[in-house]
Amino acid sequence: MARSGLYRGHVVHTRLRPRRHSLRYRVFSLLLDLDEAPALSQRSSLFGFNRWAPLSVWEKDLGDGRKSGLRDWVEDVLVQAGLDMPHPRIEILSYPRLFGFVFNPLTVYYCSDAGGAVRALIYEVSNTFGERWIYVLRTSEEAGPYRHSCAKQFYVSPFIPMDCRYNFHVLAPGDHVMLRIDETDSEGLLLRAVFGGERREFTDRELAGALFRYPLMTLKVVGAIHWEALRLLLKRVPVFRHRPAANGMTIGGLSGHTVDVNPALEAAETR
């Protein structure tokens, strides 16, 4: 049985101030074991890895897009985080391209050692300005849940200031997956974002079901971002000006202490 899978569920955001605002959308994500990806692509008529297919994942869309591949990038990031993990198992939770289009606000990399223990989580955050930042969480060898807190370093929404903190709460993928991010400011909790999903096996039947249930989902993600922005404007939520960011990363551990590295990706292109 493949370690890779699909997770069908919902994204839920709840904003508390200065106007209460919430959203809930049906979505699905792929959990892709990087070592399994080529074989999955060869035997599937619907999924492609570095090739066009109705659902596809391209290494150039992730990390810094380097020609040597995504594994090389992840291993470089782990070295910068101070982790010695020879050939880690890398599982990627993200939206696939659907009919050639994708926008991933958040991609999560679960990096496990030879014994199967998750030793690091990489959160890759993208905004609509084509910029990217990664937050690296070094974990213990326990099964989780994994909790981490770090300062916000990267402009995401025009309706949220930069002077905030992210508080991550993550369950390792199993029969279900859950990611929760509580964004706080000096007054406390400002925004809670959650993705929860139920596992499905990585088969053409399940892929076809996802295409049927979530048609053009990745296009809808971009549409929903702009629709929710309009709703917030109508509620007269203040707007904060975008300041361009160099690609970089924040390294942290379970204690929540962090070290900021900028630029971390040697000025490589993100696409």
Least confident of 20-34, 71-85, 108-122, 135-149: 135-149
Encoded amino acid at 253, one letter: G
Radius of gyration, CA atoms only, the chain: 18
Q: What is the mean pLDDT of residues 14-28?
A: 95
Distance CA 194, CA 82 (A): 29
pLDDT beyond 80 at 144: no
β-bridge partners, 92: 32, 109
Range in 37-51, 124-138, 183-197, 248-262 with the lowest mean pLDDT: 248-262
- The mean of the pLDDT values for the chain is 88
Q: Is the pLDDT of residue 179 over 90?
A: yes
Average pLDDT over residues 80-103: 93
Using a 10 angstrom Cβ sphere, with 0-12 exposed, 13-18 middle and 19 or more buried, the burial of residue 51 is exposed
Question: What gap in Å lies between CA 56 and CA 62, rounded to an integer?
Answer: 12
More confident residue, 234 or 148: 234
Cα separation, 178 vs 78, whole angstroms: 23
Cβ-proximal residues to 226 (8 Å cutoff; 6+ apart), any chain? none
pLDDT for the residue numbered 257: 36
At 88, is the pLDDT very low, low, confident or very high (cuts 50, 70, 90)?
very high
Q: What angle do CA 173, 98, 200 make, to 5 degrees?
A: 30
Of the candidates 142, 129, 146, 138, the one whose C-alpha atom is nearest the C-alpha of residue 241 is 129
Where is average pLDDT lowest: 20-34, 44-58, 63-77?
A: 63-77
Picking from 198, 188, 224, the residue whose alpha carbon sits closest to that of residue 10 is: 198
